[in-house]
Amino acid sequence: MSAERHGEFALEAVNIHKAYGQHEVLKGIHLNVNWGEVISIIGPSGSGKTTLIRTLNGLEALNQGTVNLLGQPFLKDQAITEDSPEYKKQIVHVGMVFQSFNLFPHKTILENVMLAPLYHKMGTVLDNKVTALAMLDKVGMKLHANKYPHQLSGGQQQRVAIARALAMQPSIILFDEPTSALDPELVNEVLKVIEELAKEGLTMIIVTHEMRFAFKVSDRVVFMENGHVILNDTPEILLQSDNERFQKFISKE
């Protein structure tokens, strides 16, 4: 599924800072992601979780710090931009699944999944169609390939969004609260798909408020608060933590 491995880590975030005007959101984040590792990022609203994941793929520019991908430079404060060769070369290795599904309403499900690979010239139209159908099959949506987004439930649309990310055959997939826009009864169908991907050994970073899920599927859980990483460890060790802020947070969930 993923690209050839380069470097010790799939992704390295070093001293990441992000501010909006005078408001500092990320205050020096360090995070290394190993190949095949599933990391969940949890924490209260306003802790910087979504901002962090958006800085890891260039959706938000860094004020300070470096992101390395596959052992190669990817993002660095203002020096590496969307127009830079480093970014263009590396971005195809990062998949992203958003809170809101962001499907094109005027295109079929199949066309939505094929769009990015065709744009990046990843093989022929037939190659991309075969891959897109395989990814839709993987998330249980192949039978809906010729429908349009408005004909699907929110959970189905999010599964299509996951297939769209997989179609790029990325080395790492970022999930930004993938179930937060869903009705409660639809959450589990999306979590089940993500759990299956975790079992396949895909490298994933998941921002989530689904605590039970995070501690079940993750190799490591990162607890953020006020722009800092407070805890970063295995679920087993984290659950034994006596950190007051962490205990207060999970007692509310």
pLDDT in tens, 140-168: 999 999 999 999 999 999 999 999 999 99
Averaged confidence pLDDT in the chain: 90
DSSP the chain: -PPPP-SS-SEEEEEEEEEETTEEEEEEEEEEE-TT-EEEEE--TTSSHHHHHHHTTTSS--SEEEEEETTEEEEETTTS-TTSHHHHHHGGGEEEE-SS----TTS-HHHHHHHHHHHTT-S-HHHHHHHHHHHHHHTT-GGGTTS-GGGS-HHHHHHHHHHHHHHT--SEEEEESTTTTS-HHHHHHHHHHHHHHHHTT-EEEEE-S-HHHHHHH-SEEEEEETTEEEEEE-HHHHHT---HHHHHHHHH-
**What is the pLDDT confidence band of residue 131, given thresholds at 50, 70 and 90?**
very high
> Does the structural domain 36-47+93-252 have CATH classification 3.40.640.10?
no
**What is the pLDDT confidence band of residue 77, given thresholds at 50, 70 and 90?**
low
pLDDT reported for residue 146: 98
Express as a percent the part of the chain with pLDDT over 70: 91
User: Does the structure show a pLDDT above 60 at 177?
Assistant: yes
Tokens read off for 114: 């094929």
Question: CB within 8 A of 226, min separation 6: which ones?
Answer: 27, 46, 47, 48
More confident: 204 or 61: 204
User: Does the structure show a pLDDT above 60 at 48?
Assistant: yes
Report how far residue 51's alpha carbon sits from residue 161's, in angstroms, rounded to the nearest whole number. 20
pLDDT reported for residue 251: 86
Q: What digits encode the pLDDT tens for the residues 14-47? A: 999 999 999 999 999 999 999 999 999 999 999 9
Report how far residue 97's alpha carbon sits from residue 57's, in angstroms, rounded to the nearest whole number. 12
User: Does the structure show a pLDDT above 80 at 51?
Assistant: yes
User: Does the structure show a pLDDT above 50 at 3?
Assistant: no
Going from N- to C-terminal start, the domains of the chain cover: 36-47+93-252
User: Does the structure show a pLDDT above 90 at 195?
Assistant: yes
| Angle at 200 (CA atoms; ends 72, 50), nearest 5 degrees | 55
